[in-house]
C-alpha cells in the first residue's frame, strides 16, 4: 500500500499520458447495457486488427486479463481470499473465447462477488472503528500488497482489516484530528459509508467498461475502452469547453457538494451558488425535480449539463445553514481556462527580478498544461477552435508586442500529452521546415511527420522544463528541440518514456468497409482508445521507456519515484529506426555550452541551502520508500512522524506558515489568479540557467562577428 500522494501521481501518470491522432465527433449518447456483448465482440476484433503489437486475443491475454481485472478491483488484497481466487481461476484461459463470443458474464460474476465481500468487510470496518484500540502494542502492518499472498481464511482477512482500521485511526490521531478519536471515528465511518454507497451504485455497463479496459491494458498500458459517457468527458478535456453552469462538484457521504465555482461560468455570474453548498435535486426548465441524494456523481453531472441557452433548476441546501433554496440558471459555454496555455514575461530589469535571474534579462515563460485540440471544431471549420499551437503563437506574439524577450522558457512539467498534430504544430513555431517525429505504422512502414511551414515564430534562446510526468506529445516537442540543437532541456533526469500513439475510434465492425458503414445506422457503443503506432525521434531513437534526457538535471523528489513507462505493466520495449533524412543543425547548443551551463548550475546548487534541503528530503524519501511495513505502536510511529516533521520544517520553515493558512483554505473561494511561474528556488535556478544560456549565445555571436 503506497502513500496516497504517490498513488495520485501514479494514477495521473497512467491516465494522463496520452498521444491522440484522431478523435470522433460529438454524438448523442444512448448506451444500452444489452449491447455489452456486442461491444465486447467488436472490441476484440478491433484490437486484433489495429493494435500495433499484432497480437491475438488468446490464452496468454486471457491470463493477463484475469490478473489485471482482479488487481484493479482489489489492489491491496483486502476483499478476496485465496479460495475466491481458486474458484475463479477455472476461467483463467477461457476469457478470450468468451469475449469473442460476446460473453462478459465473468466480469459481472467477479464484481458481484467483490460487492458481496465489500459489503461484508465494510460492515466489519464499521464495527472495528468503534472497538477500543491499544496503541501500545508492538505490531506492524505490511504496506506493500505485492509482498502479501491472498489471505487463506476469512479470519486472516479480518486480521488484515483490524490492522488497517487501527492504522487509519492512529494516522488520524497523530495527524489532522489530533487526540480527538471521536472525530477520527466519525471520519472513518463516513469514509466507509461512501465506499460502500459508491460501489453499490455501479451499473452493469460500468463493470463492462472496467473489464474491456482491463482487456485493452493487457496489450499495453495506454489502450482503453471508453463508454459513451466517458468519451464525452474525454472530448470535453480535448476541446477545453463544455455547456453547463460552471461548477466543479464532488461526492461526500451521499451528497453532491459544490467544490469550486469556475470563473466566468453561469454560477459565477449568478453569484448565489457557493463552495460547500449541497445540491439535493435537479430539474430541467419544466417538469419535476429529480432527487439526487445518494445518486452517483457522474449521473448528477449529466442532469446538470445540457445545451447552452437552456435552463436548469437546482434545489440547494446552503453550506452555512439548513435553509433550502431553488436556483434557476441558464447553461452557457464554459471555457476550461485552467488547462489552456498561459504566458508571462519576467523582466530582469527590475531589481527584485534580477535577483531571480542573476542578470538584467527579459524572459518569456509559456506554460503548456496539455496539447489540446478541438477536433470537432476544426472539422467544422470554426475559425477560433481551441488549439495549443494557436495559443502558443498568440503568447509569442504578445511577447513581441511588449518589446520582445531575451529568452523563452517552455514549461512542460506534468504535461501528459495530447494531440499529435499539436505537438507537430508547436514544434514548427521554433524550427524551419523539417521532420518533427517519425511514426511506425501498423504495417511496419515508417512515415515522417514534417513541419511544412518555413516561418519561425520565435528564433531566440529556448529552454524546455520537463519532469517524470512530461509524456508523449511533450516528449516529441522536447526531443525535437534537443535533436535540432535548438535549445536545452532542464529538469528531472529524463521524461516519462511514452513512445506510442493512440487513436480514438468508434466501436464498430472492422470487417465492414468504410463505404458500407456510411449506409448503416451507427450504434453508439462507445470508443476504443487503441495504441496503433509507435513514434520515434528524428535521430531514430524511440522515447519508449527511456524518455528524453535533460541537458541540465535539477534535484527533485519526483525524479526518484517509480514513475515512467518502465514501471507500467505490459509496456512496449525500446527500439530504434534510421535517422530522418531532412533534419538540420540549428546550432544553438553544443557540448561546450551545455557543459558550461551544467557546471555553473551545479556550483549554485551545491551552495544553495534550499537544494541541500531537497537532497536530504530525497534521501529520506528513498529510505521510506524501501520500507515494507509500518508500526502500529503510537509511540514508535509518533516518534517517526515527529522526527520527519521536525526535519521537514527545519528544512522548509515556510511549511509552518503554510499549514496555518491551509486551515482556512476551504472556507473561502479563492479568486486570485494562480501564478504561472511562482517564485521559488527551483524556478529561480531555471531562470539563472536561462539567463546564462542567453548570455553565452550573445557572447558567441559577438565572437563570430569579429
As annotated, the active-site residues are 472, 483, 498
DSSP 531-561: EEEEEE-TTSBB-TTT--B-SEE---GGGGS
Residue 410's SS3 state is strand
Residue 447 to residue 294: CA distance in whole angstroms: 51
C-alpha cell at 217: 491494458
Do the Cβ atoms of 396 and 457 come closer than 8 Å? Answer: yes
Beta-bridged to residue 462, according to DSSP, are 408
Do the Cβ atoms of 215 and 106 come closer than 8 Å? Answer: no
Residue 249: which H helix or E strand, with range? strand 247-252
Do the Cβ atoms of 446 and 438 come closer than 8 Å? Answer: yes
C-alpha cell at 601: 548550475
Beta-bridged to residue 261, according to DSSP, are 247
Residue 168 to residue 184: CA distance in whole angstroms: 9
b vs e for 501-537, b when ≥16 Cβ sit within 10 Å of the residue's Cβ? Answer: bbbbbbbbeeeeeeeeeeeeeebbbbbbbbbbbbbbb
How is the chain split among helix, strand and coil, in percent rounded to 5? 45, 20, 35
Residue 47 to residue 57: CA distance in whole angstroms: 8
Pairing of strands 500-506, 446-451: unpaired
Residue 412 to residue 496: CA distance in whole angstroms: 12
Do the Cβ atoms of 691 and 363 come closer than 8 Å? Answer: yes
Single out the residue of 143, 175, 179 nearest to residue 2, CA to CA: 143
Burial class (CB in 10 A: 0-12, 13-18, 19+), 307: exposed
Single out the residue of 363, 416, 427, 426 nearest to residue 392, CA to CA: 426
Burial class (CB in 10 A: 0-12, 13-18, 19+), 342: buried
Its sign, for the CA torsion 58, 62, 65, 71, is negative
Amino acid at each position: 500500500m503506497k502513500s496516497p500522494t504517490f498513488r495520485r501521481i501514479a494514477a495521473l501518470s497512467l491516465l494522463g499520458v496520452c498521444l491522440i491522432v484522431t478523435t470522433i465527433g460529438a454524438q448523442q449518447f444512448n448506451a444500452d447495457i444489452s449491447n455489452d456483448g456486442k461491444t465486447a465482440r467488436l472490441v476484440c476484433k478491433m484490437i486484433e486488427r489495429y493494435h500495433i503489437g499484432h497480437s491475438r486475443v488468446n490464452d496468454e491475454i486471457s491470463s493477463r486479463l484475469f490478473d489485471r481485472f482482479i488487481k484493479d478491483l482489489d489492489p491491496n488484497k483486502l476483499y478476496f481470499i485465496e479460495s475466491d481466487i481458486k474458484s475463479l481461476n477455472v476461467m483463467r484461459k477461457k476469457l478470450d473465447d468468451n469475449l469473442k463470443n460476446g460473453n462478459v458474464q465473468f466480469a459481472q460474476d467477479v464484481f458481484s462477488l467483490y460487492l458481496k465481500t465489500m459489503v461484508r468487510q465494510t460492515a466489519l470496518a464499521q464495527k472495528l472503528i468503534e472497538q477500543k484500540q491499544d496503541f501500545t502494542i508492538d505490531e506492524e502492518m505490511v504496506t506493500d500488497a505485492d509482498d502479501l499472498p491472498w489471505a487463506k481464511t476469512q479470519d486472516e482477512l479480518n486480521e488484515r482489516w483490524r490492522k488497517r482500521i487501527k492504522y487509519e485511526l492512529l494516522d488520524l490521531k497523530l495527524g489532522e484530528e489530533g487526540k480527538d478519536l471521536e472525530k477520527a471515528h466519525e471520519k472513518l465511518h463516513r469514509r466507509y459509508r461512501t465506499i460502500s454507497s459508491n460501489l453499490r451504485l455501479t451499473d452493469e455497463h460500468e463493470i463492462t467498461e472496467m473489464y474491456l479496459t482491463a482487456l485493452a491494458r493487457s496489450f499495453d498500458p495506454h489502450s482503453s475502452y471508453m463508454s459513451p459517457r466517458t468519451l464525452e468527458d474525454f472530448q470535453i478535456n480535448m476541446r477545453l469547453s463544455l455547456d453547463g453552469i460552471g461548477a466543479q462538484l464532488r461526492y461526500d457521504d451521499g451528497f453532491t457538494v459544490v467544490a469550486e465555482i469556475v470563473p466566468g461560468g453561469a454560477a459565477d455570474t449568478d453569484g448565489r451558488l457557493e463552495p460547500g453548498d449541497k445540491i439535493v435535486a435537479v430539474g430541467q426548465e419544466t417538469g419535476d425535480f429529480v432527487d439526487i441524494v445518494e445518486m452517483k456523481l457522474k449521473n448528477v453531472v449529466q442532469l446538470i449539463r445540457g445545451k447552452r441557452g437552456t435552463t436548469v433548476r437546482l434545489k440547494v441546501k446552503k453550506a452555512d445553514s439548513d435553509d433550502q433554496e431553488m436556483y434557476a440558471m441558464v447553461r452557457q459555454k464554459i471555457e476550461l481556462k485552467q488547462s489552456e496555455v498561459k504566458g508571462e514575461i519576467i523582466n530582469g530589469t527590475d531589481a527584485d527580478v534580477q535577483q531571480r535571474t542573476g542578470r538584467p534579462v527579459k524572459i518569456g515563460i509559456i506554460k503548456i498544461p496539455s496539447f489540446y485540440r478541438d477536433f470537432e471544431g476544426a472539422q467544422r471549420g470554426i475559425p477560433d477552435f481551441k488549439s495549443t499551437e494557436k495559443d502558443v503563437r498568440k503568447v509569442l506574439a504578445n511577447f513581441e508586442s511588449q518589446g520582445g524577450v531575451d529568452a523563452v522558457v517552455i514549461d512542460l512539467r506534468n504535461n501528459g500529452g495530447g494531440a499529435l498534430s499539436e505537438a507537430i504544430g508547436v514544434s514548427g513555431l521554433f524550427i524551419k521546415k523539417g521532420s518533427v517525429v517519425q511514426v511506425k505504422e501498423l504495417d511496419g512502414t515508417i512515415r515522417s511527420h514534417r513541419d511544412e511551414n518555413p516561418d519561425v515564430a520565435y528564433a531566440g534562446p529556448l529552454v524546455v522544463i520537463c519532469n517524470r510526468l512530461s509524456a508523449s506529445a511533450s516528449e516529441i516537442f522536447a526531443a525535437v528541440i534537443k535533436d535540432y540543437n535548438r535549445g536545452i532541456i532542464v529538469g528531472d533526469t529524463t521524461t516519462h518514456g511514452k513512445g506510442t500513439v493512440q487513436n480514438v475510434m468508434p466501436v464498430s465492425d472492422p470487417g465492414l468497409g468504410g463505404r458500407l458503414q456510411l449506409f448503416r445506422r451507427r450504434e453508439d457503443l462507445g470508443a476504443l482508445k487503441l495504441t496503433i503506432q509507435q513514434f520515434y525521434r528524428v535521430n531514430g531513437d524511440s522515447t519508449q521507456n527511456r524518455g528524453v534526457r535533460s541537458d541540465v538535471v535539477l534535484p527533485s523528489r519526483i525524479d526518484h519515484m517509480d514513475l515512467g513507462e518502465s514501471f507500467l505493466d505490459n509496456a512496449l520495449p525500446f527500439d530504434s529506426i534510421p535517422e530522418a533524412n531532412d533534419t538540420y543543425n540549428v546550432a544553438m547548443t553544443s557540448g561546450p555550452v551545455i557543459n558550461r551551463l551544467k557546471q555553473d548550475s551545479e556550483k549554485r546548487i551545491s551552495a544553495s541551502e534550499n537544494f541541500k534541503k531537497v537532497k536530504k528530503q530525497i534521501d529520506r524519501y528513498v529510505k521510506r520508500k524501501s520500507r515494507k511495513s509500518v508500526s502500529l505502536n503510537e509511540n514508535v510511529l509518533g516518534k517517526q512522524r515527529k522526527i520527519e516533521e521536525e526535519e521537514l520544517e527545519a528544512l522548509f520553515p515556510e511549511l509552518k506558515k503554510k499549514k496555518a493558512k491551509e486551515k482556512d483554505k476551504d472556507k473561502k473561494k479563492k479568486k486570485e489568479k494562480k501564478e504561472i511561474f511562482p517564485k521559488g528556488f527551483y524556478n529561480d535556478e531555471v531562470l539563472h540557467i536561462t539567463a546564462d544560456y542567453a548570455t553565452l549565445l550573445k557572447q558567441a555571436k559577438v565572437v563570430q562577428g569579429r
